[in-house]
Amino acid sequence: MIIAIQQLCHLVAQHHKSTASLALNLLIDVLKLGRQLLPPKHATQMQSLPELLNLAVSFNNDKRALASSALQTIELLMEDDERRRQSLTTPEGMDKPNQAVLDATIYANDDNAFRNALQQTQATNRLACMHVLTVKDGTKWDWDLIAELFATTLKLPKYLDDTLRGGHFMKRLLGFYHPASGFPQLPMNLDNMKYIRIGHSILETLLLSVDGQRFLKESELLREIALYLSQMIPTPGGDASVLTRIEVNKTLTWAYIWLLMSLSRTKEGIRALERANVFDTIYCLSQIANREDVYREILSSMSYVHDGFPRAILVKMLTSESTSSRWFATCQLRTLVHEKLANFHEWGIRMLVDQLYDPEVSICQLAVTALDEACEHPAHLEMLVRLCPMLDHLGDLGRPLFFRFLASTHGIHHILNMEQISQEMDTWLERNNIEYVAEIEMTLANAFNVHLQQQQQASDPVLPPDRTARFERRCQMTKFKAYGISPPHLYGSLVQTATGCDLLQRKEHLDVLASTIHAWPDVLETKEAGVLKLKAALWAIGHIGASEQGFTLLNEAIIQDIVYMASTSEVLSIRGTCYYVLGLLSKTQLGAELLEELGWLCCTTSYGRSLGVCLPAYPRQFFSVPPWRFTMPSYTIHVSLYPSTPDAITKEILTSVSNLTNHILANAGSKALSR
């Protein structure tokens, strides 16, 4: 790895711009991964970049400027990544500060900036430069200045009130978004996306004050937009809607739904939508048959933070007669699971449990996947166990939830009453452990081919390529893929509770797995069957030792055998399996300490929590492969073109065929074969 970093540093300082740019991007990605996954000793050594630093401080070469620029770029991008990572780790339930409020506070606290930037004369000049009051065509206004105005000055209540009292500026601005002005007929392209962003900022600013809310109500903008969207609803007589699918997809009509639903993020916005009867229109739109594009836009644009109409519409779509409507609504619930909404377990888990009884198998499978991912949060798992859904009708589809029940103390007692665990354990020992090897290796193969799957998603028929930019904020409508996350294992779920550990010891499955690992040289002599059997035992031991209670069931000899196998096995796939299994064992404190004694370094966060990644202290030994030497066989192989005892006819045929290659004897050979 250090050698690769050195080579990248030399490429970054090259005068060939394209090569240097690609090398710099790759170097930054490698540094980010190294900071997250490598042990502190290796991470510190890699982050120092001594080769690039030497070039930057050396005055005797022509690469100094390039190296200095690369170091500055790396520093800026790494700091930006760190700020983004810290913002994503805000404790759940703690509201993130509103950037607009922070900006306004900065302006208010800085008296000099306040007087210089917000003088009335300058504000008047700015309004004149925007051409809102002088030019009728809204597309010719200076939208950059308008965006700056709403991002800074109008965030302050005083200047917002002054602008509203003036009246003409805000009326002209909101008039641009009225359906009668031709806004929804503008083509959908990247240039026109600025109108949507600024429109959202305008509506958000108006909702900050009581006067702004009153002005928005008097403008009738929301009501007019709702009436325009109602043209997508077919008439009771069976006539087609005025706004067809093709027309809507080519214009800014969808922008109306995005603008309206963005208001559902705040309680003031929800009240404004209720006063304009917008939710009645949205409810009717959600019931249109065979309009997957409408379902997708409505569900992905609404905010479900506050209780009210958005959740009611979601419930209605979950129980709709349309299969596609129920499928998209279940997808949206899965999206909300990953967004980690506060109090989602109080209402979202119950909705997902109801979807387990949907008549469509694909929707049941999607609900199982969403619940399985949601159970990573303890509150969600507790709610699922409290609801106790029946899983018998799901068959193998309900196996992930079955494992989740096993990982909970209350859940395992619920299943024990059904007497399923013992039978499931026997099935895993006989067959499912082998099948798990194929499943997890397929998961790893998908994780290492993410770039190919991203190319396939770009041509997804559900989302046309030209609309990818529009829908980039809500890619969750496609399937989530937990790349590199190991599928659940029965033994790994059992050892989460004391009851499961006792049951595992009574069944003596652990002794069978340990004996397979101890006798691994003999097991590998059976070729393919032995390799699969050994891999199955390794993964089972890894999942057992990935928890504190499960690691106490393992003896030190098993860990030593796995470490020795990782360095000496001639089957490279076995080495790779051992590498991942040791990473699972390093997730516990006892496992990390033991592995460090055996020569493996465990990666941890700054708080000491294991990342589940374990690296050899001596990589040369781990990556060394004994040379294979070809030995000439001692016996001689005699190859004859004729059968062992050819008859006369066979000899004549072979002779005639060989004669076809000779232009002198070809005619005679052809005649002989024709006879």
Instruction: Please state, in angstroms and rounded to a whole number, the distance separating the CA atoms of residues 285 and 278.
Output: 11
Label residue 422 by pLDDT band (50, 70, 90): confident
According to DSSP, residue 448 is labeled T
The radius of gyration of the chain's CA atoms, rounded to the nearest angstrom, is 34
Helical segments of 38-98, H only: 40-47, 50-57, 64-88
According to DSSP, residue 429 is labeled I
> Does position 392 have pLDDT exceeding 70, yes or no?
yes
Q: Give yes or no for a contact between 233 and 285, defined as CB atoms under 8 angstroms apart.
A: yes
Q: Give yes or no for a contact between 611 and 604, defined as CB atoms under 8 angstroms apart.
A: yes
> Does position 24 have pLDDT exceeding 70, yes or no?
yes
Q: Give yes or no for a contact between 217 and 269, defined as CB atoms under 8 angstroms apart.
A: no
CA distances from 397 to 333, 410, 424 (A): 19, 22, 14
3-state class of 115 per DSSP? helix
pLDDT for 450 equals 60
pLDDT for 633 equals 66
- Give 630 or 518, the one with higher predicted confidence: 518
pLDDT for 460 equals 43
Instruction: Please state, in angstroms and rounded to a whole number, the distance separating the CA atoms of residues 48 and 67.
Output: 14
pLDDT for 31 equals 79
Label residue 635 by pLDDT band (50, 70, 90): low
Q: Which of 330, 206, 219, 312 is nearest to 266 (CA)?
A: 206
How confident is the model over 163-191, as a mean pLDDT?
Answer: 83
Instruction: Please state, in angstroms and rounded to a whole number, the distance separating the CA atoms of residues 111 and 93.
Output: 34
Q: Tens digit of pLDDT for each residue in 587-613? A: 888 898 899 899 898 887 766 777 888
What single string gives the DSSP state of each residue in 375-414? TTSHHHHHHHHHH----GGGGGGGHHHHHHHHTSHHHHHH
- Give 666 or 350, the one with higher predicted confidence: 350
Average pLDDT, the chain: 79
Three-state secondary structure readout of 523-583: HHCCHHHHHHHHHHHHHHHHHHCCCHHHHCCCCHHHHHHHHHHHHHCCCHHHHHHHHHHHH
Q: Give yes or no for a contact between 130 and 146, defined as CB atoms under 8 angstroms apart.
A: yes
| Tokens encoding 629 | 């030497």
- Asked which of 36-45, 261-270, 419-428, 653-662 is least confident by mean pLDDT, the reply is 36-45
> Does position 366 have pLDDT exceeding 50, yes or no?
yes
Q: Which of 300, 250, 309 is nearest to 275 (CA)?
A: 309
Contacts of 360 (CB under 8 A, 6+ apart): 323, 326, 327
CA distances from 506 to 474, 514, 587, 590 (A): 49, 15, 25, 24
pLDDT for 476 equals 37
Q: Tens digit of pLDDT for each residue in 429-475? A: 888 889 999 888 888 887 777 655 555 544 444 333 333 333 333 33
> Does position 89 have pLDDT exceeding 80, yes or no?
no
Please, is 361 exposed, middle or buried when counting C-beta atoms within 10 Å of its C-beta (0-12, 13-18, 19+)? exposed
pLDDT for 453 equals 56
Q: Tens digit of pLDDT for each residue in 157-168? A: 777 777 777 668
Q: Tens digit of pLDDT for each residue in 26-53? A: 888 887 777 777 776 677 777 777 777 7
pLDDT for 459 equals 46
Instruction: Please state, in angstroms and rounded to a whole number, the distance separating the CA atoms of residues 399 and 391.
Output: 8
Q: Tens digit of pLDDT for each residue in 642-652? A: 556 667 787 88
Report the interhelical angle of 399-406 vs 361-374 (nearest 10°). Answer: 30
How confident is the model over 133-142, as a mean pLDDT?
Answer: 84
Strongest mean pLDDT among 29-43, 265-279, 416-430, 606-620: 265-279
- Give 651 or 115, the one with higher predicted confidence: 651
For residue 519, which phi and psi values (nearest 5 degrees)? -100, 35
Q: Which of 551, 553, 557 is nearest to 585 (CA)?
A: 551
The end-to-end CA distance of the chain, in Å, is 71
pLDDT for 347 equals 92
> Does position 101 have pLDDT exceeding 60, yes or no?
no
Residue 146 CB-half CA count within 13 A: 25
Find where tokens 């004549």 sit. 652
Contacts of 379 (CB under 8 A, 6+ apart): 345
Helical segments of 251-376, H only: 253-262, 267-275, 278-286, 292-301, 309-318, 323-339, 344-355, 361-374
Question: Letter for the amino acid at 514?
Answer: A
Label residue 155 by pLDDT band (50, 70, 90): confident
pLDDT for 629 equals 76
Label residue 126 by pLDDT band (50, 70, 90): low
Instruction: Please state, in angstroms and rounded to a whole number, the distance separating the CA atoms of residues 144 and 149.
Output: 9
pLDDT for 183 equals 86
Phi-psi region of 278 (alpha: psi -120 to 50; beta: other; left: phi over 0): alpha
Instruction: Please state, in angstroms and rounded to a whole number, the distance separating the CA atoms of residues 523 and 527.
Output: 8
- Give 518 or 51, the one with higher predicted confidence: 518
Label residue 97 by pLDDT band (50, 70, 90): very low
3-state class of 601 per DSSP? strand
Q: Tens digit of pLDDT for each residue in 5-19? A: 777 777 777 767 777
Helix (H) or strand (E) holding 10: helix 2-12
> Does position 170 have pLDDT exceeding 80, yes or no?
yes
Q: Tens digit of pLDDT for each residue in 205-257? A: 888 888 888 888 888 888 888 888 888 887 765 555 566 777 788 888 888 88
- Give 204 or 239, the one with higher predicted confidence: 204
Instruction: Please state, in angstroms and rounded to a whole number, the distance separating the CA atoms of residues 521 and 570.
Output: 10
pLDDT for 221 equals 87
pLDDT for 351 equals 93
Q: Give yes or no for a contact between 248 and 196, defined as CB atoms under 8 angstroms apart.
A: no
- Give 629 or 302, the one with higher predicted confidence: 302
Q: Give yes or no for a contact between 639 and 77, defined as CB atoms under 8 angstroms apart.
A: no
